[in-house]
Amino acid sequence: MTDEAQTGTDSAPDRPELSIVVGIIAGGREPTETCLAALEPSLKDRRVECIVPYDARLEQVEALAERFPWADFVDARDRVDMKRFGGFSREHHDVLRAIGLGRARGRIVALLEDHGTPSPEWLGAVLDAHRDDHAAVGGAVENGVDRILNWAVYYCDFGRYQNPVPAGPAEFLSDSNTAYKREALESVREQWADAFHETAVNWELRRRGERMRLDPSMVVYQTRRTLRFGSAFGERFVWGRSFAGTRCAEVSPAKRVVLAGISFLLPAVLTWRIVSLALRKRRNLGRLALALPLIGVLQSIWATGEFVGYVTGRTGGPASDG
């Protein structure tokens, strides 16, 4: 294990071809262990580094470090104090990702989450996807836990990334399964040096003329086995507020007022988008039907969070409190 202040050498002969930054979202030992165990068979004969910045939510770090000696567990508890950030804040996710990105040395830098289980082909697909000149390539996200709550949260978060995702240019990529060229990330370092917000980073890359695309062969399964109603409701509000707070820096005050005013329409609009896209993909429609009432509730909570974010202009974490 290393602490957050340490830095490694970056000599060209030793540079990894791929850096993987695993974000601690669920916490506990089991999600991270499952994620890393899924990665392990793909690492043979490849120059890959795996960075796991962690806060107090990751348990039994010593045991994990012993089980996965090839992973760099970075102690960031001094940077992410849960008493300040709060149990449902997403800001600790963003700060942890930034810490991991700051340490990454690979030519390609990929983002995963602890409760995201990469498919056996994921790592090879990431490397293949970056043989062209796209700055960022995102993959598909599938649901890995067959419970109604998991389906509802999955469709709210990742419905647009359910396979078959269209291979080709994309405006949206998920930070749960995206790989960037390191040079592209470095060119927008000011956007993520303190906290990584995927929307701000991707918007800035597009402004600079960089290209992004989706690749359906990069598959990750969302395996949130410990997901509960309280945490699902809490994170919908927080993530909606964070999205709006981030967006406030990109829009005029007048547009911010308009966005706040039409927030009440979001539950219907967002739910319809989920349904219409799922109908086109023709997969898991029975599960979608069962989860639909809960999806409506979750989208209403998200809309409330967006409204608060537009009104306050804050993402919600301590960094936004001045």
What would the pLDDT profile of 180-228 be if each residue is shown by its tens digit? 999 999 999 999 999 898 888 998 999 999 999 999 999 999 999 988 9
> What pLDDT does 317 receive?
56
> What pLDDT does 100 receive?
96
What is the rounded distance in angstroms from the CA atom of residue 278 to the CA atom of residue 167? 17
pLDDT at 95 over 70: yes
What is the rounded distance in angstroms from the CA atom of residue 282 to the CA atom of residue 302? 26
Q: Which domains does the chain have, with CATH numbers?
A: 2-222 (3.90.550.10), 229-321 (no CATH)
- 108-110-112 Cα angle (round to 5): 170
Q: Would you say 212 and 169 are in contact if contact means Cβ atoms under 8 Å apart? A: yes
> What pLDDT does 320 receive?
44
Q: Would you say 315 and 245 are in contact if contact means Cβ atoms under 8 Å apart? A: yes
What would the pLDDT profile of 153-164 be if each residue is shown by its tens digit? 999 999 999 999
What would the pLDDT profile of 53-69 be if each residue is shown by its tens digit? 999 889 999 999 999 99
What would the pLDDT profile of 111-143 be if each residue is shown by its tens digit? 999 999 999 999 999 999 999 999 999 999 999
Considering the chain, what is the average pLDDT of its residues?
A: 89
Q: Which residues contact 146 (CB under 8 A, 6 or more apart)?
A: 287
Using left for φ > 0, alpha for ψ between -120 and 50, and beta otherwise, residue 282 falls in left
Report the pLDDT averaged over residues 248-256: 87
Which two structure tokens, joined as six digits, stand for 291?
């989860």
